[in-house]
Structure formats: structure tokens, C-alpha cells
Structure 1
């Protein structure tokens, strides 16, 4: 029996763990063929095997999307392999926290490269294919979902440049939505609160930051990656005439 995304192709960045892996699983369950994009090929290979074991179709694409040529090649390989692209989930992200005063500028550049430039490179490469998919079916609509954060809505002390990247993602998403929505490419942002992923571990070299993150996770019943994958699936399976521009998903006990 056909499922909601049968005949479509999705590309998920940051697919080697957490939200990206869960989203790839979910879109495959809904019938999409999924391109798994990340740097850790061994994890992608394991994920592809899991998806195929349950009847899905997956393509492993090892790429560092902070390199524009690699981001473009990842999109091109997906289209060459599957023949089309209907859904792009820009999930790859990096969170390095701490004060602005005395900060390591290299960490800022790494966050901007992943959270902003990588998203831009992948989106730019994907747009011609998404516009074409929206014209010729099977659903006559295509989707971009950008994974942002509550940190794209609220600024906190110690989150400065991470806030910068996520506020930027939100602004870019809305601008692009207005540009292409009448061509039936739906563009939306999904903003999670606390999720049980590897994101916090990026700060393991900063004891004070890691302690604060650990305390939060001890005191909060955080979301699972599957909760966010459910949100992505909801956004991309709406009827053609309905577009979800923003979805904010929070743990119930996170204020």
C-alpha cells in the first residue's frame, strides 16, 4: 500500500545521529527514498542498513557540507541516483557555548560554517530540483525544513554566536518561504527545545558549560529525536495547499 511520501526523495543533512538519523528513519517509513548526508560514513552505512532492513531505501553520501563543492556534490549525487529531489531537511548543527568575552574565534567560525553556510550551500544546490519536483509530481509540492532551535527565538547569556546562527536561520527561512511559496516549494523552520542528542557533548572540553548542560538534562524530561522527526514528518506530509512555516516543539517541563 502506498504511503504518504511514496515516489519522493528526501535528503537529510547531519543524518549520522540524533534528529537527523531519526528523521531519515521516519521519512523512509513514510515511503520516501532517503539520501543520508554527513561526515561519519560508518554511521551512515549502519543507518542505511537499518532503513533497508525495514523495507526502506537509503543512499549513503559522505560529505562535509561546510565545503560548498561537497554540499553541491551531495545534492547532485542524490538526484543522479534517485532521479529527483522532493524534500530537503537541513539538520546538521553545532552548538559551542560560552561567553563572548575571551571566546575562541575558531569556534565561532566552525558554528557559522555548519549552522549557516552549510545550510545555505545545500539549499542553493537543492532549490532547482525542488522547484522542478513541485511542477511535475508525484505530489506537485516540495519541502525544505530547516532545523533551528528555541535559541532562534530567545537569546541567553553564553549562547551569543549560537543564538546568532539560529536567529539567522529563522530569518533566512521566512525570506525564502516568501520567495518560493507560490511555486509550491514550502519552506518551514522547526525549533526544538531540549532534545536528547549529541549536541551538548560538543562542549565536553568546557567543564562549566558541560556542568550546566548536565544539570538541565537531569532536571528536565527532554524530548527524544523521534519527537522532532514526528514534527518534520507532519510538516512535509500536509496537503499541497497547506504550509507549516514554523513549528516550535518543547519539553513540557522546559520553561
Structure 2
């Protein structure tokens, strides 16, 4: 089934580290053309350089997913350069954990802007192209926190990931004839996500929880599995977590 990845043009947001970086490298090894978006130019340059040095094909565009203009520009760059886009991986996300009683509305706004609106902007940028092509694949990064509320402290984060799950399922219903939709719902995965918590007491709990994390490459393989299926097979949802994680 590797041929179902080879030469596919795959756009990945949040690609400068963690799941995005590992997924980009893994898919490039399988022959995909990867177009990477994130805010940190230096990180993107290094990842693209690493991929191309190993005979892969990659390019990047600095992208803040809170800007619909920048997300559209990322997708348009892929189409302009390679003539198509086969897969959009909406991966960018943050997870600042804190009790709601802290009323950290700036963090709530950021989670909504990145975790929800960033996904919607990706869909808005790619959907018209997928419809014109009569093919395409959305892969949206949710979380086990979008299945069960991560509490205490993760209420708003869980709310954003419940939203991603709902948006993905609704999208599947609306456009599923030729366009595939997959939600990937990771548990504790080793990435920079755990670093976005600034509330000191919550950060201690987050760091303790992430001691059981499994590598980001685990998610990369799950994403590849969804992509490499035949065109008439739509893997709608994958929940992946450490065997010792009990929720």
C-alpha cells in the first residue's frame, strides 16, 4: 500500500516539532511530497533541509494558523508548486492547562483560535481544491481529551478537541463521497504540547502524566496507515495512546 503515499502532496500545519515534524519525515521517507507550515522559520528550514538531504521532497512556508490568509497561502503554495494537494493534516495545537477558576481568558482565546479556528481555516483553504479535484483527505488532530474531559484543568482544552471531533464528523457527512476525513486522537505522546502549560501547579501534573508518553513516531505511523488505504476506504477515527494510559 506504500504506493498510495508515494508522490502524494501532503500539507502539514504545526510542522516545526513533535507530531508534525515526525509525520513529515516519516511520510517523506515513504515518498510523499510534504509542504510544511508553522511559525518558527528556523525549525522549518532545518526539517526541510534534513528531508531533502535524504532524497525526499519538502518545502515550507511560515504559517500562523490563526490567520486564514496565511493558511490559505500555505495551501495555495502547495498547489502552485506541485499542481495539487492530496492531504491536509491539521496538526497545529496548544494545551495550556489550568483550573477554570484561574479565568485565563487569554489562554482560552488562544486555544479556540489555534485548536478550532486553525482547523476550520485549513478546511476552508483546502475544501474548494478537493472538490474541484474530486479527491482529497483531511486529517485532523484531536485528542483523547476530545472523548473524555481532561480534568482538572483541561476543561477548555477538552472543549476544543470535542469541537475538532464534531467538525470532522460533520465534514465527513457533508463531503464524504470523494473526500476522506480522519480524526487522529492521541493520548500521551512525546511532543512540545506539554510545554504550553504556564500554571505552575498544573504543569507539575502535566509533566508527571507525560512520563508515560510514547514517541511521536507512533502517531506518524497511524497517519500513514489512514493515508495509504485505497481511495474507497475512509479511516474515520483512530485513538492511539500508551498501553498503560488508563483514560
Normalised to the residue count of structure 2, the TM-score between the two structures is: 0.95
Distance 2:207 2:65 in 1: 29
Unaligned runs of 5+ in 1: 136-140
Counterpart residue number, 2:154: 159
Computed over aligned residues only, the root mean square deviation of the Cα atoms, in angstroms, reads 1.2
Offset of residue 188 of structure 1: 1.1
* Map 1:103-118 → 2, pairs under 5 A: 103-118=103-118
Offset of residue 102 of structure 1: 2.8
Distance 2:110 2:93 in 1: 10
Unaligned runs of 5+ in 2: none
Counterpart residue number, 2:191: 197
Aligned partners of 2:194 and 2:210 also within 8 Å = no
Q: How many residues align?
A: 244
Q: Which portions of structure 1, spanning 4 or more consecutive aligned residues, are displaced by more than 3 angstroms?
A: none
Counterpart residue number, 2:123: 123
* Map 1:40-51 → 2, pairs under 5 A: 40-51=40-51
Distance 2:74 2:189 in 1: 27
Question: Deviations along 1:70-129, whole A, 9 cap, x unmatched?
Answer: 111111112111111000000000101111113211110011000011110111111122
Counterpart residue number, 1:142: 136
Normalised to the residue count of structure 1, the TM-score between the two structures is: 0.92
Distance 2:5 2:128 in 1: 20
Question: Deviations along 1:10-56, whole A, 9 cap, x unmatched?
Answer: 00000000000011112212221110000001100000011111111
Query: Does 1:6 pair with 2:2?
Result: no
Aligned partners of 1:88 and 1:126 also within 8 Å = yes
Offset of residue 4 of structure 1: 3.1
Aligned partners of 1:177 and 1:187 also within 8 Å = yes
Equivalent of residue 178 in structure 1, options 173, 180, 183 = 173
Distance 2:144 2:201 in 1: 21
Q: Secondary structure at the match of 2:180?
A: strand
